[in-house]
Chains A and B, each alone.
Chain A
Amino acid sequence: MVESELIAKSKEYRQKILKYIVGANAGHTGGSLSCIDILNVLYNVVLNTRPENFASPDRDRYIQSKGHCVEALFVVLADKGFFPEEDLNTLCRYQSHYIGHPTRKVNGVEQNTGALGHGLPISVGTALAAKMDKRDYRVFTLLGDGELPEGSNWEAALTAAHYKLDNLCAILDKNSLQITGPTADVCNTDPVDEKFESFGWAVKHVDGHDLKAIKEAFESMPFEAGKPSLIIAHTVKGKGVSFMEHSVSWHHGVPNAEQYAQALEELSI
């Protein structure tokens, strides 16, 4: 997919994220908008995963550790044909499988996530299995910067380096805000690059909304042979909607009709 198409996809995805959050009257708006460009590049450029090969042992795996930003994932999975998009009209409704976190009841979802600090250990196990079986698939996991204080992340970071899992790529959606406020004020994890490097990872920084830069970062993985890769994606919470950007109140805020109309107008430009 060429860059202009990717740009169009990001716009479309952002609009749909808001549409289904408004429909459900629930959702993690700010984080879904901060990570959507990463998911766009993953599913439209990087992953070999398709509905028709989802049972294949050789498919690439994407495991979303920051499960609460499920709206971004569902919109992309629907676009890739894993399920009919109209299913998302049932988001968070009684007896729907489309709940507020990823579950394997939804086609295309690899693991049930939602509790934080779980995606990286599972991804390590999945990547390790590829090494043991000499398979070529790669494993990608999206972490939030707010979940980094979970100790299990650091346990898994050690294991990933210990087993030289250069088929593993973690992407940190560093939007620098969490529900209480700035991540640096809640529990500062910076300099996060140095921490991961000292754990034995190869690290790159990208502008998490520059589709070309994200693509180039993925294409250069592994950043170093024998090391797991970390992409620190510098993102903006609520990206694309002026009044949502950099605002904690949009962590799981739902736009009213007027706000939704304004957001769609901004996103259509």
Chain B
Amino acid sequence: MEHITTEVAKAAKPNLEVFSTTLQQLAAHDRDVVVVTSDSRGSGKLVPFGKKYPEQIVEIGIAEQNLVGVAAGLASTGKKTFAVSPACFLTARALEQIKNDVAYSDNAVKLIGISAGVSYGALGSTHHSLHDYAVLRAINNLTIVAPADNYETEQAILQASELGKPIYLRFGKKNMPLLTEDRANTFTLGKGRMIKAGKDLTFIATGETVYPALEAAGRLQRENGLDVSVVSMHTIKPLDTALLKERAEHTRAIITVEEHSVNGGLGEACAAYLLQNHHGKPFKIVGIPDEYTVTGSQVEILNHYGISETGLADTALALLNTIA
């Protein structure tokens, strides 16, 4: 699949678009690749897939519980089934189907949460998914992944397709620049990627918040002479605890970053591991606080809560000040 990698490296696209093109390439060689949608092929960038492979797309209509149940049935027969729906509906309305029909029954559905986090911006809380990591982390037998850039997205889809186990992947809508040009820095499910080394502080970020963390690390280097590390913790479960331990041992402080509630997501997963394994460090969880979410576009919401280059740089300086 080298050729795909080369192609996506060219320009920043929405991860969703890469998801769609990667799926088309898989479907071209494998008629068992099936996409199930809930009137979501447009928002899932799947219209070209539907045109090219009409026999491999199943439209359910707006009925997410049924979407996941039907996907479980398809997957039980060996079909590589991708169930695609906005993350907000997929992981709330169909949660019992995810828990029972997918995870508990061990049907290897690939659950694709699109327009995740606050991607829908001003459409409001009904359309935000700030709970999905938390609720899905508490369900046994489910891998949870938030790819950061186009390369991670492509690799996550390819690896998910072959995983043979239930998996949830979430994507946003905005263009995501590549985190690194280093081809040796490969993607493996369950293994975090060290995007930038550094000894002063580590940002452990996931999904589309890795990029602003990387920008913040650059800013801290330029303006404050700080050597800040950035990890793309694309797989939230199972968590790469070896990398977490290594970062705790080699940096002075840790900040986690996620486009998710501060309750029950990546940050608390990291905190639980670090504390229970005696790697306590100055630590801060950056996410969406437990409040009525501010209104605005995705960028405005993220900026408001400090999930931005300047916001994260300020949080890093404040945390380091507490241990100076």
Contact = CB atoms under 8 A, between A and B. Distances in A.
Interface in B54-110: 55, 58, 60-61, 63, 65-66, 68-79, 96-97, 100-101, 104-107
Contact of A124 (B55, B70, B100): B70
A104 B106 contact: yes
A126 B69 contact: no
Contacts of B100: 112-115, 118
A152 interface: yes
A151 interface: yes
Given A112-B104, A115-B96, A159-B66, A125 B72 contact: yes
B73 A126 contact: yes
Interface residues of B, number: 28
Contacts of A152: 63, 65-66, 69, 97
Given A121-B65, A155-B65, A111 B76 contact: yes
Contacts of B97: 118, 121, 152
Contacts of A126: 73-74, 76-77
A158 B69 contact: no
Contacts of A130: 77
B136 interface: no
Given A156-B70, A159-B70, A122 B77 contact: no
B34 interface: yes
Given A104-B105, A121-B97, A122-B101, A128 B63 contact: no
A121 B74 CA distance: 10
B77 A111 contact: no
A129 B74 CA distance: 6
Interface string A93-115: 00000000000100000111111
Contacts of B107: 111
Consensus secondary structure, chain B interface: helix
A185 B179 CA distance: 61
A92 interface: no
Nearest to B34: A132
Contact of B66 (A114, A132, A133, A156): A156
B151 to A, nearest CB: 32
Contacts of B55: 132
A161 interface: no
A236 interface: no
A12 B72 CA distance: 34
Contacts of B96: 115, 118
A126 B68 CA distance: 12
A159 B61 CA distance: 9
Contacts of B34: 132
Nearest to B81: A125
B121 to A, nearest CB: 29
Given A112-B104, A151-B65, A125 B78 contact: no
Given A118-B100, A121-B101, A122-B69, 20 more contacts: A57-B78, A104-B106, A111-B76, A111-B105, A112-B105, A121-B66, A121-B70, A121-B97, A122-B76, A125-B72, A127-B73, A128-B73, A129-B76, A129-B77, A129-B79, A132-B79, A152-B63, A152-B65, A156-B70, A159-B66
19 contacts: A111-B76, A111-B101, A111-B107, A113-B100, A114-B100, A118-B69, A118-B96, A120-B69, A122-B73, A122-B101, A123-B73, A125-B72, A125-B76, A126-B73, A126-B74, A129-B73, A129-B76, A158-B61, A159-B63
